[in-house]
Amino acid sequence: MPPAQARPDTARADTGRVEAGPEEAGGQEAAASWRALGTQVRLVVTDSRCLAEARSMLSEDLAAVDEACSRFRADSEICGLRGGHAQQVSPLLAEAIAVALRAAELTDGDVDPTVGAAMSALGYDRDFETMPRTGPPLPAMAGAVTVRTVPGWREVRLDGRTLTMPEGVRLDLGATAKAWAADRSAARIAPRVGCGVLVSLGGDIAVAGPAPDEGWRIRVQDVTGSPDDPPDGPYALVAIRDGGLATSSTAARRWQRGGDVLHHILDPRTGLPAEPVWRTVSVAAGTCADANAASTAAVIRGRRALGWLARLGLPARLVDATGVVFTVAGWPQDQQDSRDAQDPRDAQDPRDAQDPRDAQSEQAQK
């Protein structure tokens, strides 16, 4: 997972909501927002004249990804897969599965695409917006969901477009598909429209093409909101020129069954939600898919994630359940309010920062 540059900057944009900035050569930055794939979509281009075409291409891309990869659509290609024999899949689904299997390999199985049945057993069996937030106790919490429900990614074989997996396996690409889709669309759109492009899918951010002078500026914090709103509590201002940035959270998609509060990041070793050691983990990497794999694995690894991310040299910000903020591998320190923002010309290159083996922490004001 090669690291991307992350540095402090002054413009503000909550993860997943990136604010259009100043004029660039040949045009002015422009942005559009809408919903797709069950999440908020944010598209920013460095030349407003390219926005309409870029939006059309992104909408087309996301519709194709939804049709291939959604486990909430009965007519999706992934829902039609059956284990126990070899089967041909479309080039798009094959690419999505390959990315998921790569993430599993890079994270030693922490990010596992075979958690589909376990996820459904916990009640996450439909689009999150339509899920009841409370309900009766689940049999899963009484022990019905075990490691037997998660067959393991090594049981899935993909040879070109030929997929083989055990009978009964249900794939869930939710941990990787949005980040991969952001990478794929940004890389496809930028050369076509001829300007810089940022694609954010629910906080999974990928950039391609020429970046703005000060880089793509992103505000990272624990609460979501409009980029026009002032920061709410401590936040980090970062800028990336290539690659991607992703945030994984145990607080965003939560629901309750009986007395159990559940979230959507499962530990494949237990088939249950990972212990909520971290409230959020944000990572910058060479691609959004790699950043997302690392941030998701960090949630599952708990405190061990600090050393793991530092050894990989991936700039990261981790906020624990009590609000303590940890940064590793050159991630910039948090600002406490908008008056603390630094001049973008003083932006820090993480490669010149502290030894990545050192983790820093500060108390967040909740």
Query: Could you read off the pLDDT of 194-245 as tens digits, one per residue?
Result: 999 999 998 899 999 999 999 999 988 776 655 556 666 677 889 999 999 9
Whether residue 184 has pLDDT greater than 80 = yes
Coil, helix or strand at residue 64: helix
Average pLDDT over residues 332-337: 72
pLDDT at position 16 over 50: no
| pLDDT of 54 | 98
Name the more confident of 361 and 28.
28
Q: How confident is the model at residue 109 (pLDDT cuts 50, 70, 90)?
A: very high
What burial class does residue 186 get, using C-beta atoms within 10 Å of its C-beta: 0-12 exposed, 13-18 middle, 19+ buried?
A: buried
Confidence at residue 93, expressed as pLDDT on a 0 to 100 scale: 98
End-to-end CA distance of the chain: 32
Query: Strand 204-208 and strand 244-249: pairing?
Result: antiparallel
Nearest residue to 250 via CA among 182, 316, 319: 319
- In this structure, are strands 254-257 and 134-135 parallel, antiparallel, or unpaired? parallel
CB 65 within 8 A of CB 201: no
Positive or negative torsion for Cα 63, 64, 67, 70: negative
CB atoms within 10 A of CB 120: 17
Distance CA 273, CA 271 (A): 7
- Residue 145 has a pLDDT of 46
> Does 132 have pLDDT greater than 80?
no
Query: Could you give the CA distance from residue 105 to residue 112 in angstroms, rounded to a whole number?
Result: 9
Two structure tokens written together for 272: 């249950």
Per-residue pLDDT at 89 = 98
Query: What is the rounded average pLDDT for all residues in the chain?
Result: 80
The closest of 268, 163, 234, 196 to 51, measured between CA atoms, is: 196
The whole-number pLDDT of residue 341 equals: 45
Query: What sign does the dihedral 162-164-168-173 (CA atoms) show?
Result: negative
Which pLDDT does position 273 carry in this prediction?
Answer: 84
Find the range with the poorest average confidence among 49-58, 144-153, 177-186, 258-267.
Answer: 144-153
Q: What is the pLDDT of residue 275?
A: 83
Q: Indicate the pLDDT class of residue 268, thresholds 50, 70 and 90.
A: confident
Residue 281 CA to residue 111 CA, distance in Å, equals: 14
Q: Which of 125-129, 142-146, 314-318 has the lowest mean pLDDT?
A: 142-146
pLDDT band per the 50, 70, 90 thresholds, residue 12 = very low
What is the pLDDT, as a whole number, of residue 141? Answer: 56
Quick check: 45 and 193 in contact, CB under 8 A? yes
pLDDT score of 340 more than 50: no
Cβ-based neighbours of 95, under 8 Å, separated by 6 or more: 180, 184
CA angle 210, 223, 131 (to 5 degrees): 105
pLDDT for the residue 23: 42
Section 289-299 average pLDDT: 96
Rounded to 5 degrees, what angle do the CA atoms 340, 342, 347 make?
150
Is the separation of the CB atoms in 138 and 254 below 8 Å?
no
User: What's the rounded Cα separation, in Å, for the pair 259 and 42?
Assistant: 36
Query: Residue 357: its pLDDT value, please?
Result: 33
Strand order from edge to edge, sheet including 39-45: 30-36, 39-45, 197-201, 204-208, 244-249, 278-285, 316-320, 324-328, 360-363
pLDDT, position 31: 96
Give the lowest-confidence range in 232-246, 280-294, 299-313: 232-246
Q: What percent of the chain has pLDDT over 90?
A: 52
β partners of residue 245: 205, 284
Q: According to the model, what pLDDT value does residue 335 have?
A: 72
Closest residue by Cα to residue 176 from 207, 149, 204, 147: 204
pLDDT at 2 over 90: no
DSSP state of 319: E
Q: Is the pLDDT of residue 352 over 50?
A: no
